[in-house]
Chains A and B, each alone.
Chain A
Amino acid sequence: AQSVTQLGSHVSVSEGALVLLRCNYSSSVPPYLFWYVQYPNQGLQLLLKYTTGATLVKGINGFEAEFKKSETSFHLTKPSAHMSDAAEYFCAVSEDTGGFKTIFGAGTRLFVKA
């Protein structure tokens, strides 16, 4: 069965500082991995996804994530935080078992200080 663990329910960084949001997953088959962002009272927006191929994946808004199979991790980074990055971020895993049902982590709220 798939599962996702996001380390840290809250992360606070200063504007311009590195953003690092941690995600570990469990999957019985090669996984598809995702990061989504959610702003208050909105649905989720896909930031980036890993399916196959290059393990460093670039997404929107300057975010990127690296798939590390040996560590079962898919951490999200951004070199320089912006105030507009303040939101809830969800790591998710999906398996190609027909429906691409996706399992989400509990989320990490990112605060950006001026």
Chain B
Amino acid sequence: DTGVSQNPRHKITKRGQNVTFRCDPISEHNRLYWYRQTLGQGPEFLTYFQNEAQLEKSRLLSDRFSAERPKGSFSTLEIQRTEQGDSAMYLCASSLVGGPGYTFGSGTRLTVV
């Protein structure tokens, strides 16, 4: 069990560019969640997958955001045409079906300049 892995750890991008983050969950976990955390706030739910199916999306996830989990293993979160307001820590977590409580990755910190 190597935990939840997120890459990259840090990303600085210019406004208007596209960025993609990757999350590798714990291998036997079939649920995967994306959260966004801004400075001084708790994590805000973005979306979650059960296996490869995306089952819920937050209103926070505008049409510039897209998430995939193509084979029910790793997931990617893409932000198109980044804006300064997208600057945040993007956290990925995974869990087992039927088991409350997440295992979080270390996050990807995005800075849009």
Binding site for B on A (CB under 8 A): 4, 9, 32, 34, 36, 41-46, 49, 51, 90, 92, 94, 96, 98-107
Contact = CB atoms under 8 A, between A and B. Distances in A.
Contact of A51 (B44, B100, B105): B100
B48 interface: yes
B43 interface: yes
Given A49-B101, A51-B100, A103-B45, A42 B56 contact: no
B67 to A, nearest CB: 14
B35 to A, nearest CB: 8
A96 B104 CA distance: 19
B100 A44 contact: no
A46 B107 contact: no
B100 A49 contact: yes
Contacts of A49: 100-101
A90 B42 contact: yes
A46 B48 contact: no
Contacts of A90: 42-43
